[in-house]
Every structure is written in C-alpha cells, then in structure tokens.
A and B are shown apart, each in its own frame.
Chain A
C-alpha cells in the first residue's frame, strides 16, 4: 500500500483529496469561462446573473483567472497536508484534463478536414514562410496528433513523450495566436469549434488559456513514465 493510504495518513489524504477536488472544480470553471461559454460551469452567462448585472458576460476572462487563482491557492494547502497524495492526484487530474481536452479539440477537425484547412489558411502563417503547399497536409495531420497524443497521455504509460508532444503543440498554438493578434487577422483560434466569428477578445482568451495550460504540460513532461493506474501503486 502506498504511504498516503496508510492508516496514519488516511485522514490527511482525505482532506488533501477534498482540497484537490475543490481546486479541480475552480480550474474547470476557469477553463469553462475562458473557452466554453454557455457550458454548465460558466457563471458569467447565467441568466439570473445577466438579469442582475447585464454586463457580467464581458468579465469571463477576469472571472476565469480569479477561479484559477483560487484553484491554485487550494493546491498549496493540499500539498502541505499530504504531499505524496497531492502529487499523485495532481498528475492524474492533469493527464485526464489535458489529454481529454486535446481529444475533444481534435474531433471536429478530424470530421471536417476541409473546414480546418480553411481555418489554418486564415492564419497566413505558411505563406509567410513560403511553405503554402504544407497548409492542407498540416490540417490533415495536426488533429491526428492531438487525438493520439491526448489519448496516449491518458491510457499509455508514455507520459513524458506525449506531454512533450503536447507541449510543442501548445507552443505552436501560442505562436499562431500571437501571430494572429500581431497582424490583426480578426480570426478566432478554432481550437474547439470552427467558426468565422471576428472577436479579437476570443483570440486573447485562447492565448491566455494556452499560456496557463502549457505549465502543467511541461511539468508532466518531466514526470516518470507510468500508467494512470501505476501512479496509485507503491513504487518499487
């Protein structure tokens, strides 16, 4: 049995687990506020709130960042109370969260390569590098990377390899979004749905989300290769 489940540590592990669960809730609220308006965890577009304060929906980034800070602050006592449990829980949650997000993001792109290729072309990144011919091939292969490396992060023990691949994908997203903002291209990131909306604020929110999520991915890239089940087994 691993240390954190020994009878003398059980109480501390439970408290640490509750704190981690609450922290997960706040981080999920952060992701929902920044990336998924109208989801069940998005507070700023709740009708009762809009009735009370019609401009509430404009503050989704601020609310998301506050939720992230609260979530991050809750992880600190969870680590102090039972470090061993908190590290294992954090690794599990990060792997499921980031891997799941990549799987989810890849589905619509795989279903419609043409639309994704059109979206990639709007970034005008390849023409600037004189590599225009790569646009379609990139749009075909990239969603597959997202799906399979996301899946590998959850179901395989190769967390270092999959996290490193996802880390570089985040780097590419950050470069692309920075490029779009710098050149005032007026396109959304197209991370989770293909849409022709022209809202620069959404590009900023995507950039902020990626800048936040790149850090846990980098941390995962330095962890030992273990399956999700092996994380909860005693190391020999």
Chain B
C-alpha cells in the first residue's frame, strides 16, 4: 500500500499535509469571503458571485494603490539591486575589519519594520528631526513627506532596510563564482568595466534573478512604513495595496472586498513573475 505511493510524493507528503493544515482553511475561508458581501458589522452574508471582483475594476482607489505599489516595488528593488551589487563587490574585496563591516551592514533587515517606519518618521521631520536639521545647515530644505516626494521617501526607507538582503545574496553569489573566467579576462587585458559586464554580470544572472524575485515578492507587502509615516497621503500618493486591504478589511470591516483585493493582487503578481521568469530563463538558454 505505502510502497505504491511514488517516492517523490512520500518525501513531499509532510510538506503538503502541513501546508494544507496551515493554509487550506484560511485560504478557503478568504476565497469564500471574496465571493460574498461579508461585513464584520453585519450578521447577514449574501453570496454575490464575482461582484467584488468586477467592483474593483470600477474602484479608482484600488487602481491608484495598484499603480503606487508597482512603482514602489520597481523603484525599491531596482535601487536595492544596484546598491546591493556595488556593496557586494566592494565587500568582497574588503579585508580590514571584514566580519564587523559585513555584519554591521547586514543589521538593518533585522529591525522590525514598524520600528524602522517610526524611526524615520521622526528622523525626517522638518522641525523635530535630525536629517532636515543637518540639511538645513547646508542650506537644503526637502519636504520628505510632501506631494512630490512622499513615495520616494517610502522607497528610501525600504532601501535602507532591505539593501542588506541584496548584499547578502549577491555577496554569496559572487564568492561562489569560479575563478578561471576572471583569470582569462585578465590575461586578455580586459578593463574592469568589461570584466564586470562580460564576465561577472552574466555569471551572476541566476543569483540576481532569485534575489530580485524574493525581494520583489516581499516588497509587494509594504505596509508598515506607510502606516507609520503618511497613512497613504498626501492625497493618495502613498496608498499601497496592502495598506488598502488592511483598511478595507479591518478598519472598514468589509472582509469580502478585502479578500477580493488580495486575490487580484496575487493574480497580478503571478502574471508578472511568470512573464519575467520566462524571459530570464530564455536569456539564460541563449547565453
């Protein structure tokens, strides 16, 4: 009996069972909710089919939040990738105080995000904060949470906290690269930039793909920074999907709509990941 189960499934079974245990009920429940008009404050629950989903098409606020979230994820991850790569390359060559430098630069990702948000809320405050004060002495005034810059500020906070994650993965990737191609490049007299573009970058591509994917998926969940600093303002400039879902479900008590918002988000991300991943894999095949 047991022997007839394929070997793969036998290894996989504990995972499937555990995932089913922790996931099936919450997921099934939210799926059910997304098909109803369930409000926390009403005992009445009506089955509304896909109305919650079609309602989102006409919900301009949801569109704005989706746009903000995509901009946020793209900018944050792009900056983190570039900075992370530069830092990883620099750290790889660093010899003096090596372990201390590395571990210190990695710490921001261990600070709980809500604390990071609150920290920056005060650091960036024009009247009370240290950063505007220093900038003021240089004659610079920046309205960090004003109309033009608020989203960029949220991105900057994310960059502070999560570039270390990129550094960690990319540093690991760089250290595991084989040595011969670099030797060959040196023998050929390639410039540093050429070596980087033609040797380091292509070999690092799979690592970059994974780092970007992990970081992007996590960035889609941005909530704490917005909650701690702008609450989505000014206007709706920093409104993000996760914050909107939180408010719709928990603050406004409309669980059905919140669940629908969540599933649409998952669908969008799934689409993006599939498209991007296909491209990366194809490039890899041709490389």
Q: A and B: real partners?
A: no
Q: Contact residues of B with A, CB < 8 Å?
A: none
